[in-house]
Amino acid sequence: MEEIVVGIDVGTTKVCTLVGRVEDDKSIRILGVGIEPSEGIRKGIVVDLEAASRAIKRSVEKAESTSSLEITTAFVSLAGAHVSSVNSRGAAGIPGGIIDFHDMARALEQAQAIAIPHDREIIHVIQRGITVDGQEGVKTPVGMHGYKLEVETHIITAASATVDNIRQCVSAAGVDIQQFVLNPLASAEVVLTEQERQMGVAVCDIGGGTTDLAIYVDGDVWHTMVLAVGGNHITQDIAHGLRLSLSQAEEVKKQQGHAIRSDIGSEEYFLIRPFGEVKDIRLNRQDLAMVIEARVEETFNLILQEIKRSGYDGLLPAGMVLTGGTSALPGISRVASEVLGMPVRTGQPQDLKGLVDKLNSPMYSTSFGLLQWAISMHDHQVAVSGGGKRRSKRPGEKNAGFDTVKNWMKRLLP
Ligand SMILES: Nc1ncnc2c1ncn2[C@@H]1O[C@H](COP(=O)(O)OP(=O)(O)OP(=O)(O)O)[C@@H](O)[C@H]1O
Ligand SMILES: [Mg+2]
C-alpha cells in the first residue's frame, strides 16, 4: 500500500503544501506541490484570518490537483515570537527492575507536569538526555536494568490563541492538523547530518518574517528559539536606504544583493526604474551591500546573544547550518561565521525525487522537513484519500518496528 505524507509550511512569504510518497528506501517522492504567496500572516502569526485561510486553501488545492489526491490531514509548521521553550526533568521508579516503554512514558509525563499558563499549550515534548540510576548519557533505556529512570526534556509551548488561529485557517481548507512542528525542527530534518547533531550544531532558518533557531547537542534538541526578524527587514532597509518601493527593493535584493560590502567593487552599478518614472536610474551595488551588511550583522548579533543566553555557546563544534530563503543571499554565511566565531555553512533539500522542479532551494527546507518529520513519526492516521483507489495510510501503520517506536518516544506528542 502507498504511504503518503503531507506537510503545509505556513510561512510569512509563502504557503507551501507538499504531498510525498514514502519509497521503500524511506526516501520521499514528491507527488503534489502547492506554492502560493502568503496573505494575512506576519512574522509567523495570523493577522487576517480570511486572507490566511484563502492562501492556505489555494496552496492545498494546488497540491491536490497536482497529486490527484485529496488532502485530509497534514503536518503543519509553526513559528513566531509567541513560541517559547523550557527544559524540564521527569523521573520514574522502576518496580520490575527492567525499564519498559511505560516507564519511559511515566517519566516523560512527569516532565510535563510543569506550570504552564492557561493561555499557552504544549507543542512538543522532546527527550534530550536519559539517566538510569545516576548514570547519564543512556541512549536506549528500554530493556535495561535499573531502579530509577530520569529523562531530561525540552518542552516547547505556544500561545493557544495564535495556534487556534492557524488551526482555524487550515481547517477552513478542509485539512485536520496531524501535528504542529516547530519550524527549525522541521528544517533540521533536512539540512543537518547525524554527525553534526552528535558533535553539537545550531540550525538557523532565516525566512521572510522569522529567524528560527534550534541547538542540537549529543544528537538531541537542547534549545529552540524564534526571533521576529527575517529577510523582509532587509527588504525594508533597502527600500528606505535606496528610496525604492518594497517590491523593487525585494527584486534588487535577490538580483544584486550581497552581504559583504568589501566583496563588491566601488564601480559596480545596476539599473532600475523607480515606480512612476519613465527613465532608469543607476544605483551603486556597494551602497546596496552596505545596507544589507548592516542588517545581516545585526541579525547575527541578536542570534549570538540568544545562543549565549542559552548557555550552549561552547558546545557547538559543528557550528551553524543556515537555511531558509534569506540564506540564499551571497556572503551571508561568511558574515555569520565572523559574528558568531564558528564555522557556518548553508543547507537545502537535496537528492529530491518527483515533482521537484522549483523545490531545490533553502526556501523549502521546512516544507521537506515536515515530510521527513512525518515519516519518522509513529502516528499512523490516514493522511490522504483520493477517488477511492489511492487512499493511503501513514507509513509504518503495520508492523511498526522498534525504531519507529523509539522515534516516537523521542518526539512524544503532548
Ligand atoms: N536570492 C535571495 N537573496 C536574498 N534573499 C532571498 C533570496 N531568495 C529569497 N530570499 C528571501 O527569503 C525570504 C523568504 O524565505 P522563506 O520562503 O524561507 O520564508 P517564509 O518561510 O515564507 O517565512 P518565515 O519562515 O519567516 O515565516 C524573503 O524575505 C526573500 O526575500
Ligand atoms: Mg519559513
CATH number of the domain bearing residue 108: 3.30.1490
Nearest to 55 by CA among 179, 185, 166: 166
pLDDT at 77: 96
Domain annotation covers residue 102: yes
Site residues for ligand 1, CB cut-off 6 Å: 11-14, 38, 44, 79, 183, 207-210, 230-232, 235, 250, 253-254, 257, 324-326, 328-329, 363
For the segment 82-99, the average pLDDT, to the nearest whole number, is 92
Give distance in angstroms: CA of 192 to centre of ligand 2. 16
pLDDT band at 274; cut points 50, 70, 90: confident
Nearest to 12 by CA among 49, 38, 34, 33: 38
The grid coordinates listed for 33 are: 506541490
pLDDT in tens, 53-62: 999 999 999 9
pLDDT band at 396; cut points 50, 70, 90: very low
pLDDT in tens, 258-267: 999 999 999 9
Domain annotation covers residue 148: yes
Does 90 score more than 70 pLDDT?
yes
Nearest atom (ligand 1) to Cα of 79: 27
pLDDT at 376: 79
The grid coordinates listed for 138 are: 543512556
Does 402 score more than 70 pLDDT?
no
Domain annotation covers residue 263: no
Give distance in angstroms: CA of 403 to centre of ligand 1. 35
pLDDT at 407: 44
| Kind plus residue range of the DSSP H or E element containing 408 | helix 402-410
Does 384 score more than 60 pLDDT?
no
What are the backbone angles phi and psi of residue 389, rounded to the nearest 5°?
Answer: -90, -20
Q: How many domains does the chain have?
A: 1
pLDDT band at 81; cut points 50, 70, 90: confident
The one-letter code for the residue type at 271 is L
Nearest atom (ligand 1) to Cα of 361: 8
Domain annotation covers residue 212: no
Distance between CA 189 and CA 349 in Å, rounded? Answer: 10
Q: Which of 241-245, 332-336, 386-390 has the lowest mean pLDDT?
A: 386-390
Nearest to 388 by CA among 175, 70, 174, 60: 70
pLDDT at 1: 55
For the segment 388-399, the average pLDDT, to the nearest whole number, is 29
Domain annotation covers residue 372: no
Does 198 score more than 80 pLDDT?
yes
What are the backbone angles phi and psi of residue 284, rounded to the nearest 5°?
Answer: -90, 130
Length of the chain as a residue count: 414
What are the backbone angles phi and psi of residue 363, rounded to the nearest 5°?
Answer: -65, -20
pLDDT band at 382; cut points 50, 70, 90: very low
pLDDT band at 44; cut points 50, 70, 90: confident
The grid coordinates listed for 274 are: 523607480
Domain annotation covers residue 202: no
For the segment 342-347, the average pLDDT, to the nearest whole number, is 98
For the segment 28-46, the average pLDDT, to the nearest whole number, is 94
Check: CB of residue 141 under 8 Å from CB of residue 130. yes
What is the side-by-side strand order in the sheet with 120-132?
84-93, 148-159, 120-132
320, β-bridge pairs:
202, 344
Ligand with minimal distance to 208 CA: 1
Does 95 score more than 80 pLDDT?
yes
Distance between CA 347 and CA 107 in Å, rounded? Answer: 35
pLDDT band at 275; cut points 50, 70, 90: confident
Nearest-CA residue for ligand 1 atom 31 is 231
Nearest to 258 by CA among 320, 190, 174, 330: 330
Does 80 score more than 90 pLDDT?
no
pLDDT band at 385; cut points 50, 70, 90: very low
For the segment 340-345, the average pLDDT, to the nearest whole number, is 98
Does 89 score more than 90 pLDDT?
yes
Give distance in angstroms: CA of 139 to centre of ligand 2. 31
269, β-bridge pairs:
284
Asked whether the whole model's pTM tops 0.85, one would answer: yes
Ligand with minimal distance to 322 CA: 1
Nearest-CA residue for ligand 1 atom 17 is 363
Does 28 score more than 60 pLDDT?
yes
Distance between CA 374 and CA 359 in Å, rounded? Answer: 18
Among 226, 326, 335, 365, residue to substitute to test ligand 1 (most atoms within 8 Å of Cβ)? 326
Nearest atom (ligand 1) to Cα of 231: 29
pLDDT at 344: 98
For the segment 81-101, the average pLDDT, to the nearest whole number, is 92
pLDDT band at 404; cut points 50, 70, 90: very low
Domain of residue 91 covers 84-157
pLDDT band at 273; cut points 50, 70, 90: confident
Give distance in angstroms: CA of 189 to centre of ligand 1. 19
Nearest atom (ligand 1) to Cα of 365: 18
Check: CB of residue 122 under 8 Å from CB of residue 96. no
Among 8, 12, 210, 299, residue to substitute to test ligand 1 (most atoms within 8 Å of Cβ)? 12
pLDDT band at 319; cut points 50, 70, 90: very high
Considering only CA atoms, give the Rg of the chain: 22
Distance between CA 141 and CA 132 in Å, rounded? Answer: 8
| pLDDT above 90 as % of the chain | 75
Check: CB of residue 122 under 8 Å from CB of residue 411. no
Q: At what angle do helices 160-172 and 49-67 cross, to 10 degrees?
A: 50
Distance between CA 161 and CA 121 in Å, rounded? Answer: 9
Among 361, 363, 365, residue to substitute to test ligand 1 (most atoms within 8 Å of Cβ)? 363
